[in-house]
Copies of this chain bind each other. A is one copy, B any other.
Amino acid sequence: MPTEYITKRKIEFTDTDMAGIVHFSRFFIFMETAEHEFLRSLGTSVATEWNGDKIGWPRLAASCEYLSPLHFEDEVDIRLSVSNKGTKSLTYQFHFSLEGKDIAQGQLTTVCCITNPGEKIRAIPIPEFISSQIITP
């Protein structure tokens, strides 16, 4: 079965703007925190060490389509899935819903990199212990 990760997030006051709804940029934060929870569920982290190197996941692309607004104190359901697993990159899909109603859907493409301080960031193959846990559709 394809990899999936389910989480929730309660909307905070600072997520809102003067239009009375969640600011569109906040959905990218919500995607990121879901991604980070997902990586922790695999036993790793978005900022970790591996074989003596610092590993990170810089973003290549991010997008979101907005279907319905979110409000203060809403508890939004977030479903993460991995739609593409390259040798060095992952593409995540995110589906946001509130009590079954579609709110938004987003996408994030990240690339596995060595991010040692003082060195040029360079892409590497996703470590096997992470890659082996991710099944794409």
Taking beta carbons and an 8 Å cutoff, which residues of A are in contact with B?
12-14, 16-21, 23-25, 28-29, 32-33, 36, 40, 45-47, 56, 58-66, 69, 71-73, 115, 117
Query: Which residues of chain B are within 8 angstroms of A115 by Cβ–Cβ distance?
Result: 19
Q: In the complex the two chains form, what is the Cα distance from A59 to B22 in whole Å?
A: 11
Do A14 and B23 touch across chains, with their CB atoms under 8 A apart?
Answer: yes
Query: Which residues of chain B are within 8 angstroms of A18 by Cβ–Cβ distance?
Result: 13, 16-21, 47, 71-72
* Tally of this chain's copies: 4
Which of B45, B59, B73 is the one whose CB lies under 8 Å from A24?
B59
Q: In the complex the two chains form, what is the Cα distance from A73 to B18 in whole Å?
A: 12
User: When A and B form their complex, which 9 residue pairs have the shortest distance between CB atoms, in order from nearest?
Assistant: A63-B63, A16-B18, A25-B28, A24-B59, A18-B20, A61-B65, A16-B17, A59-B66, A12-B33
Max count, chain B CB within 10 A of own CB: residue among A24, A59, A73: A24
Max count, chain B CB within 10 A of own CB: residue among A18, A46, A115, A117: A18
A-B contact pairs, 21 of them (CB 8 A): A13-B17, A14-B25, A16-B17, A16-B18, A18-B20, A18-B21, A18-B71, A18-B72, A19-B115, A25-B25, A25-B28, A25-B32, A40-B73, A47-B72, A58-B66, A58-B69, A60-B66, A61-B65, A61-B66, A63-B63, A117-B117
